[in-house]
Amino acid sequence: MKAVFLIIDYVPHQVLTIRKLIEEQKCSILAYHVARFNANIPVLDNFVTTHYKNQKKEEILANIISFNPDIVVVAGWMIPEYVWVAKKLIKILKVPIVSYSDTQWYGTIRQRINTLISPFHVKKAFTHIWVAGIYQFEYARKLGYKKEEIILNSLTADVDLFRNVNLDNKLKKYPKNFIYIGRFSTEKGLAVLVKAWDAIIDKKEWTLTLIGDGILKDNFRSYKSIIIKDYMNQAALIHEMQNSGCFILPSLKEPWALVLHEAAVSGLPIVCTDICGAAPHFVINGYNGYKVKANDVIDMQNALVKIINMNNFELYSFSCKSRELGFHISPDISINSLLQLL
């Protein structure tokens, strides 16, 4: 089997997908990448990747045709050169040309224009859309794709890694620490979270840890009740998940949020805003956490207080239910969702 990937960044879920295809499906992969935010390139057998700026789009097209893949997977329609190549390939190769999509339908003017021009643009480039979840499915339908032309489960956490968090140890002594993992940027809603946290008078020994990097990071260092930690790799995050009792994602805008899947598999109760694309898949109100309104300090405060007032057994029960939901998507499910097209 041969596959082509046209990538923006080699983020962990992307590397995981490619590695699984190579190791379990004996797949040979030709790839091009943009390296917009992440310059790290995976080193794998049967895998060749090139920065897309190093070749003209005509050369990329010729190389892919010569490679003769069984399937082509493209990182959406943001990169004009990728779209141009896809529009040529869809006519020449007669194989599935698949676009990733983690974008929700917001009904913006730009999205409405996209739906109008889709028959002459997106639909001309891709035979199928590979969406992350139900909110992305809605957008794909509005772009004119039939239900059978949309496949699910494009994004997955490294389930085998994050399931290493030991829930039995938490039953013995449940860790009273809220944890946030992500960028320190406006759209992540950290200002709302901090206001909600400060408004809680009796925190009952709970702490709040914020992990990540970003331009607003220094704004939160002055808070004595908040622990600030630098960005760390996924292996190091296992230790942080083990020593935490609830995951928080206060985002004001969040197309998907793979970190919610990682938190769920780690067995963490979750408090997140209802605009997070992954929320319907990994958070059920009152079952394993709480979904709150975005940019609502009171709603966030009330959810945190509910977690703080739980006893250890109730928290452990939420933990187990989070892990149950987290197992609904896995690398194997993700890959085979794609391979069904073959």
Residue ranges of domains in the chain, CATH in brackets = 2-156+330-339 (3.40.50.2000), 159-326 (3.40.50.2000)
In terms of residues, how long is the chain? 342
Ramachandran region of residue 102, left (φ > 0), alpha (ψ -120 to 50) or beta? alpha
% of the chain beyond a pLDDT of 90: 93
- CA neighbor of 281 nearest in space, from 104, 161, 110: 104
3-state SS of the chain is: CEEEEEECCCCHHHHHHHHHHHHHHCCEEEEEECCCCCCCCCCCCCEEEEEHHHCCHHHHHHHHHHHCCCEEEECCCCCHHHHHHHHHHHHHCCCCEEEEECCCCCCCHHHHHHHHHHHHCHHHHCCEEEECCHHHHHHHHHCCCCHHHEECCCCCCCHHHHCCCCHHHHHHCCCCEEEEECCCCHHHCHHHHHHHHHCCCCCCCCEEEEECCCCCHHHHCCCCCEEEECCCCHHHHHHHHHCCCEEEECCCCCCCCHHHHHHHHCCCCEEEECCCCCHHHHCCECCCEEEECCCCHHHHHHHHHHHHCCCHHHHHHHHHHHHHHHCCCCHHHHHHHHHCCC
229 phi and psi angles, rounded to 5 deg: -130, 150
Answer whether 149's CB lies under 8 Å from 129's CB.
yes
Closest C-alpha among 164, 86, 188, 167 to residue 127: 86
Four-point Cα dihedral 95, 8, 160, 167, nearest 10: -140
Rounded Cα distance between 281 and 274, Å, is 11
Tokens of 222: 């002055």
How would residue 221 be classed by pLDDT, with cut points 50, 70 and 90?
confident
Q: Which two tokens stand for residue 301?
A: 């405060």
Rounded Cα gap, residues 263 and 129, in angstroms: 26
* Distance, C-alpha 49 to centroid of its chain: 22
Picking from 92, 29, 27, 9, the residue whose alpha carbon sits closest to that of residue 58 is 92
pLDDT-derived band at 223 (thresholds 50, 70, 90) equals: confident
Using one digit for the tens of pLDDT, what is the confidence trace for 85-95? 999 999 999 99
Q: CA 53: distance to chain centroid? A: 26
Q: Check pLDDT > 80 for residue 219.
A: yes
Q: Provide the mean pLDDT of the chain.
A: 96
- Reading the block at residue 283, the tokens are 């958070």
pLDDT digits (tens, 9 = 90+) for 143-162: 999 999 999 999 999 999 99
Mean pLDDT of 191-215: 95
pTM: 0.94
Q: Is 53 exposed, middle or buried (0-12, 13-18, 19+ CB in 10 A)?
A: exposed
- Checking if the pLDDT of 333 tops 80, the result is yes
The pLDDT value given to residue 225: 82
pLDDT, tens digit, for every residue of 128-147? 999 999 999 999 999 999 99
pLDDT band at residue 222 under the 50/70/90 scheme: confident
- Per-residue pLDDT tens digits for 308-323: 999 999 999 999 999 9
Per-residue model confidence (pLDDT) at position 65: 98
- Check residue 28 and give its pLDDT: 97
Query: How confident is residue 248, by pLDDT bands cut at 50, 70 and 90?
Result: very high
User: Each residue of 159-190: pLDDT tens digit?
Assistant: 999 999 999 999 889 999 999 999 999 999 99
Percent of the chain whose pLDDT exceeds 70: 100
Q: Give the pLDDT score at 73.
A: 98
Q: What is the pLDDT of residues 4-62, one digit of tens each?
A: 999 999 998 899 999 999 999 999 999 999 988 878 898 999 999 999 999 999 999 99
Which tokens belong to 8? 């923006």
**Region for residue 69 given its phi and psi (left: phi exceeds 0; alpha: psi -120 to 50; beta: otherwise):** beta
Rounded to an integer, the average pLDDT of 231-248 is 94
pLDDT digits (tens, 9 = 90+) for 20-36: 999 999 999 999 999 88
